[in-house]
Structure 1
Amino acid sequence: MNSGIEVVYIVKSAPADIEARTEGILLEQAVELPRSVLRDDFVLNHIVGSVRSIEALTTGEFRVTISHPEGTAGNDPAQLLNVLFGNTSLQPDVLLEDVRIPASLLQTLGGPRFGIAGIRQAVGVPTGPLTSTALKPMGLSTDKLAAICHTFALAGIDLIKDDHGLADHAFSRFEDRVRACVDATKRAAQTTGRQSLYVPNLIGSPSRVLEQLRFAQKAGVGGVMISPMLLGLPLLHEIVRNELTVPLLAHPSFGGALRISPEALLGRLFRWFGADAVIYPNYGGRFTYSKETCARLAALLRQSDDGLPPVLPVPAGGIKIERLSETIAFYGEDVMLLIGGSLYEAADDNALLQRAKSFVAGARN
């Protein structure tokens, strides 16, 4: 049997039932039939996988590791997801905790095109933490968003992205916003001598997202952002492999809708499918990720021993400027700090500029 895809689940079950539950998950994710009706030798030897381990955790909860033959994924990104957590995702007592795939599948997915090194080259900052912020709120006109973008670029923030809520709205059309914000960063660069990257949010149907991507790259953006759980991980893969010429940020929106651990989804799958930087909720902010989860995510994203480039962790979601030193000490140099709301606490435009400059200075020291 050619095994190779290892999937780790957390399963709630009575101890007396856990072996049968595990067998059921194994078969559900491959053949959707009881073992007793399987008579084809190829199916039995090359499609049906095996149970590697069952580990009791707490009362009524088990860690189960199942191995599927590599061929079940069909060398296809969408089918890989189907094998990992297709029908079993419909079972409310099962969580996908982790996944490991062979090198051949990693090469099929391809991973990031730019990674940490490519983003550093794009922003011209070879060492130290990088800075980023978001244009918001939804509802502002294109002119007002571009003015904020200009302020952040004057302050020297490395990467200025759309908030993930900015789409192709009547009050700020996508193409108009891209042109205006690219121009804003260029005008700021004439004053500061360095170019901030403007990163628009791509959102819509697959065909519309591809239109947006092509327009944005032609207009001279420094990167793009998508939410893979809104648009689909296979679309992320296709964009990276066939269309991308600038770094890509992945936003976690809708990432909590499935019972998949942050480490498996954001730390492994987002990187494997092609993100160059991955945004996730930082500890102590508006969300409930722990320090331990954030540390594991950063380590998974920055790993390089699997043959794929390391990517930037982008902690976000309520980081305060006043906690900048603490956050940098926690993550180290290879990180992009995304601070939004803490900057917008400034009383007026000049205060916003000074607060953004303080952010940049704090990251550079």
Structure 2
Amino acid sequence: MQDAFSVIYHVRSTPKEIAGRAEAIALEQSVELPRAAVRDPHIAENILARVESIAPLGDDQFEVVIRLARATTGDEPAQWLNMLFGNTSLQEDVLLVDVAMPEEMLAAFIGPRFGVEGLRKLVGAEERPLTCTALKPQGLSSAQLADLCGLFARAGIDLIKDDHGLANQRFSPFAERVARCQVAVEQANAETGRRCCYVPNLIGSPRQIAEQVRLCRELGVRVVMIEPMLVGMALMHELAASDPGMAILAHPAFGGALRIAPALLFGKIFRLFGADAVIYPNYGGRFSYSPQTCKALAENLLHPWGGVKPAFPVPAGGMQVDRVQEMLDFYGKDVILLIGGSLYMAGDALLERSRTFVENVQKGGAR
């Protein structure tokens, strides 16, 4: 098997059973037959997956590396995911941890169209960290959300995104909301000279999302958000491949439903499938990610990886304004800080709190 790639799993097993367990994963992720039933020499040599290594991790946990044939993926994103973790994802003792591919295989994927450099140019921030907030809560009218957009843009927040719960509800229909919010941000930019971007949430069936993309293009939207785990990672890849002229911000909703390590799912797979920036739960907030997981995830988004452009890490989830410097010390300049609730807690002083957020990021990024 010469044209192949490696997939890394963590497997819960006893030392006595791990060799058989690893062999079962290799069979399940390739031919779905007992080895003795594979009688064709070509398939046995070039298609049947191989156990590359088994290493103990302690406490009946093992790292298992499986070698898979590239030919089985068809160089198609959804099938690639199927080969990585299709049937095996149904087995509770296995966690998908990482993947290693040759550069020529990476070239089959789109990767970020804009990436870190392109997003920086889009908002006019060549060096500093970027800022982001979310329009909340559900239940506000399109006009109320547009007012918030204008306020955040006048405060200088770079990316003003829909909350991931905003869809096409009666209280704020997609077409009406996007039109109003886009105008509000454009008007604020005209007043301030900034390049803040409104980021609408694309969600629905593939046909509905195609119509939403068309509308966003017509209205001059420059960045969109999508939840790949809800609408399909292959759909995000197809959106990036269509080169819509809009950067893609990927949201992690439903990302905890599978046993895939966050550093791989959000840090590598989302990037590979076309996300220019990836939101994920930051440590010390509403979620339980550790600093080590967040660091590994951010590094996977940014590290050199063949011809795949780097993507922005977007730590979020209960972030506080008073933690800005801590986050900048942790992540460095190539980061988008997403803060929502901590701003809204300011009440009538929302504009002032938002300006403080922007100023703190600019000052901290200059250190």
Query: Residue 355 of structure 1 aligns to which amino acid in structure 2?
Result: R
Give 1:96's aligned residue: 96
Structure 2 unmatched runs, 5+: none
CA distance in 2 between counterparts of 1:228 and 1:2 reads 32
Give 1:321's aligned residue: 321
Equivalent in 353, 359, 364 of residue 361 of structure 1? 359
CA distance in 1 between counterparts of 2:14 and 2:167 reads 47
Query: Residue 354 of structure 1 aligns to which amino acid in structure 2?
Result: E
Once the two structures are superposed, the pairs formed by residues 75-94 of structure 1 within 5 Å of their partners are: 75-94=75-94
1:186 Cα deviation from its structure 2 partner: 1.3
Aligned pair 1:333/2:311, yes or no? no
1:278 Cα deviation from its structure 2 partner: 0.3
Q: Deviations over 1:177-217 (max 9, x none)?
A: 11101110111112211121001000000110111011112
1:49 Cα deviation from its structure 2 partner: 2.1
CA contact (8 A) 2:10 2:62 kept: yes
Once the two structures are superposed, the pairs formed by residues 338-353 of structure 1 within 5 Å of their partners are: 338-348=338-348, 351-353=349-351
Give 2:287's aligned residue: 287
CA distance in 2 between counterparts of 1:100 and 1:213 reads 33
Kindly report structure 1 stretches of 4+ aligned residues shifted beyond 4 Å: none
1:218 Cα deviation from its structure 2 partner: 1.5
1:3 Cα deviation from its structure 2 partner: 4.1
CA distance in 2 between counterparts of 1:186 and 1:78 reads 37
Once the two structures are superposed, the pairs formed by residues 15-164 of structure 1 within 5 Å of their partners are: 15-164=15-164
Once the two structures are superposed, the pairs formed by residues 180-191 of structure 1 within 5 Å of their partners are: 180-191=180-191
Query: Residue 164 of structure 2 aligns to which amino acid in structure 1?
Result: H
Query: Residue 155 of structure 1 aligns to which amino acid in structure 2?
Result: A
CA distance in 2 between counterparts of 1:132 and 1:245 reads 20
CA distance in 2 between counterparts of 1:119 and 1:199 reads 13
1:347 Cα deviation from its structure 2 partner: 2.2
Give 1:194's aligned residue: 194
CA distance in 2 between counterparts of 1:55 and 1:293 reads 21
CA distance in 2 between counterparts of 1:278 and 1:291 reads 17
Query: Residue 55 of structure 2 aligns to which amino acid in structure 1?
Result: E
CA distance in 1 between counterparts of 2:253 and 2:305 reads 28
CA contact (8 A) 1:3 1:49 kept: no
CA contact (8 A) 1:112 1:275 kept: yes
CA contact (8 A) 2:29 2:49 kept: no
Classify the secondary structure of the residue corresponding to 1:171.
coil
CA contact (8 A) 2:277 2:313 kept: yes
Classify the secondary structure of the residue corresponding to 2:203.
coil
Classify the secondary structure of the residue corresponding to 1:184.
helix
Query: Residue 361 of structure 1 aligns to which amino acid in structure 2?
Result: E
CA distance in 1 between counterparts of 2:250 and 2:141 reads 25
CA distance in 2 between counterparts of 1:268 and 1:234 reads 14
CA contact (8 A) 1:319 1:339 kept: yes
Classify the secondary structure of the residue corresponding to 1:16.
coil
Q: Deviations over 1:121-175 (max 9, x none)?
A: 0000100110000001111100110001110001010110000000000010101
Give 1:271's aligned residue: 271
CA distance in 2 between counterparts of 1:299 and 1:140 reads 37
Q: Deviations over 1:311-364 (max 9, x none)?
A: 10000001100111111111000100000010000121xx10000000000011
1:74 Cα deviation from its structure 2 partner: 1.0
1:59 Cα deviation from its structure 2 partner: 2.6
1:60 Cα deviation from its structure 2 partner: 1.6
Q: Deviations over 1:253-306 (max 9, x none)?
A: 000000000011001100000000000011100001111111111111011242
Classify the secondary structure of the residue corresponding to 1:14.
coil
CA distance in 2 between counterparts of 1:58 and 1:330 reads 29
**Structure 2 CA distance for partners of 1:236 and 1:111, relative to 1, 3 Å:** same
Decide which moves more: 80-89 or 2-11.
Answer: 2-11
CA contact (8 A) 1:2 1:70 kept: no
Structure 1 unmatched runs, 5+: none
Query: Residue 351 of structure 2 aligns to which amino acid in structure 1?
Result: L
Give 1:210's aligned residue: 210
Classify the secondary structure of the residue corresponding to 1:31.
coil
Classify the secondary structure of the residue corresponding to 1:160.
strand
Query: Residue 247 of structure 1 aligns to which amino acid in structure 2?
Result: A
1:222 Cα deviation from its structure 2 partner: 2.1
Classify the secondary structure of the residue corresponding to 2:58.
coil
1:102 Cα deviation from its structure 2 partner: 2.1
1:243 Cα deviation from its structure 2 partner: 4.4
Identity %: 53
TM-score (norm 2): 0.97
Query: Residue 69 of structure 2 aligns to which amino acid in structure 1?
Result: P
